[in-house]
């Protein structure tokens, strides 16, 4: 006798559907989502849709408009600046702490770099953005500071959303990002903490220039 697979609660299914749509840009910034459309897309009633949208509003991905629906919030320059500032503080500390890098960390970063190269070559920018984020998160986790890791994880959705949007707007950036990841990995492999910090600063600081409109 086969057991039926229990589905997640309806509100969770709507939440996942909308969140994934926002992160992979199926739902672009400025898109108006209605309860009826979402209920039909996921196959649920409107009540769990409202619950899911409230959660997403708290996370800053959408803004609710009574009797109209919810608008997907665009990525703002201020949001980019705030994420960059937090990333800089966490990642520069983490990469310095990672030196001397263990063989396990080097192997894991090489695996992620190879995966990102394959995803970029296949044109799968959403997957490449996820792997890009994983590359940096792996260095942060290696430091063993659970509080910093959780703080960094809180940036996950914002980083992924920004990453996909930036790769679409600046298609040449993916090649530069891969080169910079390779350089960071080489510095860690060589045990050069100062060089690794300098490379991480340059890599992350590019997004600061983007937020200030200095990247064309």
Higher pLDDT: 101 or 1? It is 101
Confidence of residue 7 (pLDDT cuts 50, 70, 90): confident
Crossing angle, helix 10-23 and helix 156-169, to 10 degrees? Answer: 40
Q: Distance between CA 66 and CA 47 in Å, rounded? A: 14
pLDDT at residue 134, as a whole number? 95
Average pLDDT value for residue range 150-174: 80
| 142 alpha carbon, distance to own chain's centre | 19
DSSP alpha helix (H) spans, the chain = 10-23, 35-42, 46-58, 77-97, 103-121, 125-142, 146-154, 156-169, 173-190, 193-211
Indicate the average pLDDT of the chain: 88
Supply 32's token pair. 């108006």
pLDDT at 1: 44
Say what the pLDDT of residue 42 is: 93
Mean pLDDT of 37-58: 93
Query: What's the rounded Cα separation, in Å, for the pair 192 and 100?
Result: 8
Look at residue 20 and give its three-state secondary structure: helix
Look at residues 162, 88, 169, 104 and name the one whose alpha carbon lies nearest to residue 130.
Answer: 162
């Amino acid at each position: 006798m086969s057991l039926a697979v229990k589905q997640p609660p309806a509100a969770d299914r709507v939440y996942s559907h909308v969140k994934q749509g926002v992160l992979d840009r199926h739902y672009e910034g400025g898109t108006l989502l209605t309860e009826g459309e979402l209920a039909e897309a996921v196959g649920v009633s409107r009540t769990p849709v409202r619950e899911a949208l409230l959660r997403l509003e708290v996370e800053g991905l959408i803004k609710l408009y009574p009797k109209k629906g919810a608008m997907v919030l665009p990525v703002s320059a201020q949001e980019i600046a705030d994420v960059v500032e937090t990333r800089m503080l966490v990642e520069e500390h983490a990469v310095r702490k990672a030196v001397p890098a263990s063989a396990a960390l080097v192997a894991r970063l090489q695996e992620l770099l190879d995966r990102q190269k394959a995803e970029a070559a296949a044109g799968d920018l959403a997957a490449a953005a996820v792997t890009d984020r994983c590359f940096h998160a792996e260095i942060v986790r290696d430091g063993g500071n659970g509080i910093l890791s959780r703080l960094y994880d809180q940036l996950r959705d914002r980083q992924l959303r920004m990453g996909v949007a930036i790769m679409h707007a600046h298609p040449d950036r993916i090649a530069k990002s891969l080169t910079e990841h390779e350089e960071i990995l080489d510095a860690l492999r060589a045990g050069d903490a100062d060089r690794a910090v300098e490379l991480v600063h340059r890599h992350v600081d590019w997004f600061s220039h983007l937020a200030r409109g200095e990247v064309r």
